[in-house]
A and B are shown apart, each in its own frame.
Chain A
Amino acid sequence: MLGGLALSKSVKQVRAVAVTGATALMALAAYLVIEFLSLRAAGDVSPMLFTGSWTWFAPLNINLALGVDGISVVMIVLSAFIVFAGVFASWNLKPLTKEYFMWFCLLSTGVFGFFISIDMFTMFMFYEVALIPMYLLIGVWGSGNKNYSAMKLTLMLMGGSAFLMLGLIGIYFHSAPEGGQLTMNILEIAENNAIPHEWQYYLFPMTFVGFGVLGAMFPFHTWSPDGHASAPTAVSMLHAGVLMKLGGYGCFRIAIFLMPWATQELSWIFLVLTGISVVYGAFSACVQTDLKYINAYSSVSHCGMVLFAILMLNTTAMTGAVLQMLSHGLMTALFFALIGMIYGRTHTRDIRKMGGLMQIMPFLGVGYVVAGMASLGLPGLSGFVAEMTIFVGSFQHADMFHRVFTVMACCSIVITAVYILRVVGKILFGAVQDEHHKTLTDAEWHERFAVVTLILAVAAIGCFPNFFSNIITEAADPIMKLFA
């Protein structure tokens, strides 16, 4: 796809290639799900399916090892959806359309590569491949204080990955019992379970914080609001929708899966931090006046919820966490797409300067309301399913500590309702604030297409949660047995 883009000359060709590529991705993802389900139905119970391994760097036992389990399948579906919608959302992007889509593709390559890797080295490599295009995507095509945000975002995320790299190499050197063959393969490491406890004590925080930075864990979340606010629409979508999930997925796949002992010992620290993220993000969203900042802080809150649920260490909460990733990915992408479209018309994102947009652009208004409802957990949409599962899972812990934090996190739903309804009331209803806004038009066909796709996905998860939750539970169950 990158090759195709490089060759295409005109803007039209670029678009054609991008759409074809994204559609192919969707088709492949769907095919993957079908194949995956049929194999599982046929009774294949190995932890990863479609595994393949090719030796890459023999001296360090680095392999290009690929494979998927239920959780990665779900994440791949999510990524495919958002890339697809993102291409449509950046339809009229200028200038340098070709370069934009090339970076966009590189970013998606990183994301998909990350989700299918089961080798720490390749996983880390794809992780960084997904990070660096952000700098240029925000720096060149962004808006507002873009230089500052792009630099801040890149440096903070790379700072996280510095810790991560050290942690991964540390894991590698303790991946096998004394004298055994060291390995980078996650499954083999988990099977060996040979990392000494005193090392787990250092390596777990390192890897968890490393991924946690990308998962916008308090106090490492500060890149996220600035970054999202300055990024172009599709990049915000992909970033909040997929990239932040890399953090959650990595925390789970590497930190928790490989170091169960340290997880149990140290999870309380991170539980406190993620608990703060959840509540703090929601409160911050209440006082922002910039649409993108509101949504960015709400992402901090929701992504905090993902990490929070993962740290609950039981199957129900874990299933909820992945559902939350899925649901938040879709609805936040929807939000950012809509905000981009509204901004593209009104040229302001300040909610104090907007009002009565429902009369002017009903389609976008309705879309915004649907996204908001999903975000605050209206039954029938995706947010409800995910949050419900998380809280049920979290409450299974009988001790006071977990329960207090669960109740705290539950409160964030109420706060979410506050900021969502505040925005909806302010910009969609009420009197029109600006005379110029009356002349604006509603969404064009490609925008409608992106929005409808995402809304359908959100509703589908809300109405048929079992389809996904079964796949996830199946994958989460064996891992969470480590903590039973």
Chain B
Amino acid sequence: MDYSQFLMMPQELGLLVVFLLVFLFDTFMPKKSLGALPVFTSVLFGAFTLANYFLLARGTAFSGMFETSATTFVMKAILNIGMLIVLVQSIKWSNSEFQAVRRGEYYELLLTTLFGMYLMISARHFLLFVIGLETASLPLAALVAFNKNRYESHEAAAKYMFTAIFSSAIFMLGLSFVYGLTGSMYFGDIAARVLAGGNSVLLITALAFVIAGVGFKLSLVPFHLWTADVYQGAPTAVTSYLSVISKGAAAYAFLIILVQVFGSVYSAAWEWMLYALIVLTITLGNLFAIRQRNIKRFLAFSSISQAGYIMLGVVAANELGLASLMFYVLVYIVSNLAAFGVVSAIENYSGKVSIDDYNGLYKTNPRLAFTMMLAMFSLAGIPPFAGFFSKFFIFVGALETGSVAIYVLVLIALINTIVSLYYYLLVVKAMFIRQDDCIIPTFKSACSERIAMTACTLGIILIGIASCIYTFLVEAANADNLIFGLLK
């Protein structure tokens, strides 16, 4: 075996080093100094994130099972940024007395799932992809159940576990059909043989199963039923991780699978399946979000509808769509993490998680309210915040295909932004306009939380305006040799 091909996976190796160092620190350092573990991990991971930008390998490894390209590199870097913010955000939470015994596990499991997502992004062979998918899913179930003493946490974990297993099973059933039809698990081989063999009912069924399997990770309607309960039950740090990182990785992988593997059945099959999924996801996500009173459930449904918008980049199935998808994920990460940062700061301080508890927050905690407002505006797509740009670009990417159906689809999505604006404004209204007798008193959030929130706020304001980021993503998407040509 040629060991030099491991050099094609520098980011994975780097992450492994971080993981091992954290593990060693956790295992061998004296009990007293374990309190430094969260900071240690964050700093280490920060260094790794920075170092990322110098790991410029391009190519494939393990006879084409694994690929490092411009976009996989960028996608992993985006996930890293989100991960870093999550780590910093959760320093206070994981240092709380209650968590102290299991502090190490939290970080180790978190890093493991990220490793799984890396594999999902880079896999060009379904076996590797499934390994990545499982590595990303199963530790998350443990993380969801992390609050050992809370009933909801267990319930959430059980729900997550069952749906994860069920969807993996469906996914693999679909894969077995694909293997039966084509005799290969390599993305490239399958694509070539599907193109030669044409459509068949079995192929379409297999495709539907694959979409269902990945749709679960993205929590697309109708595979979303776990989302709200899990978001509510899991510790907020885990919820924020679940809502952004795992979604971003799945969205990118989804696009790669559909384009690279099933590109040739685009207009016959998956284009229409996706249209239906997107309309359902955006609309139902929005409609359910309106009625939520618990802020975490609220964000869960909002994230469902956001996933629908991300999918627009997949439907576009062109370079612009890919770039817009990555941009959307980045913007979504900072905006959603800003919201979760505020939620967790308030939860840590007062234990309150209802939207009504936020009444009059601006009076007592203007900074938190301001951050939350920016996050809400960005999620709703209001300029000059980043969300506006990401929405605009993802619509442009989708409309570049130019079919009438896609104009209708985008129109539905746009009308849904109005619905979403309504419920995002409900939160703003609670904080700025409504008054209450028992307002959350003024408090000082922890230093780490403030750092994370500042980073998110800066991200929300700057990512859109600094055009170099989007330009860079488009260049990366163009540099990739994805075979979009099959689609036409």
Contact = CB atoms under 8 A, between A and B. Distances in A.
Interface of A: 55-60, 62, 121, 125-126, 128-129, 132, 135-136, 139-140, 146-147, 151, 154-155, 158-159, 162-163, 165-166, 169-170, 172-173
A173 B421 contact: no
B395 A125 contact: no
A132 B377 contact: yes
Contacts of B467: 55-58, 62
Given A125-B383, A162-B414, A173-B399, A58 B422 contact: no
B118 interface: no
Interface string B382-414: 111000100011011001101000010011001
Contact of B425 (A56, A128, A154, A169): A154
Contacts of B320: 59-60
A60 B400 CA distance: 11
Interface in B440-488: 467, 470-471, 474
B415 A162 contact: yes
A57 B471 contact: yes
Interface residues of B, number: 32
B414 A165 contact: yes
B471 A59 contact: yes
B471 A158 contact: no
Contacts of B323: 59
B414 A128 contact: no
Most buried by B among A151, A158, A170: A158
Question: Can you list the 5 inter-chain pairs with the closest CB atoms, starting with the nearest?
Answer: A162-B414, A59-B474, A125-B383, A139-B433, A57-B467
Contacts, number: 81
Contacts of A59: 320, 323, 470-471, 474
A316 B336 CA distance: 52
B44 to A, nearest CB: 35
A170 B415 contact: no
Nearest to A131: B382
Contacts of B393: 60
Contacts of A135: 425, 428
Contacts of B418: 155, 158-159, 162
A228 B425 CA distance: 19
A140 B392 contact: no
A128 B382 contact: yes
B58 interface: no
B433 A158 contact: no
Given A56-B467, A59-B320, A155-B422, A165 B428 contact: no
16 contacts: A57-B471, A58-B471, A125-B383, A128-B383, A129-B383, A136-B432, A151-B429, A155-B418, A159-B418, A162-B417, A163-B411, A166-B410, A169-B395, A169-B410, A170-B399, A170-B407
Contact of B428 (A62, A136, A170): A136
A60 B474 CA distance: 10
A59 B475 CA distance: 9
A129 B384 contact: yes
A438 B417 CA distance: 51
Contacts of A126: 383
B411 A166 contact: yes
Most buried by A among B407, B414, B432: B414
Most buried by A among B323, B392, B471: B392
Interface string B304-325: 0000000000000000100100
Contacts of B396: 60, 169, 172
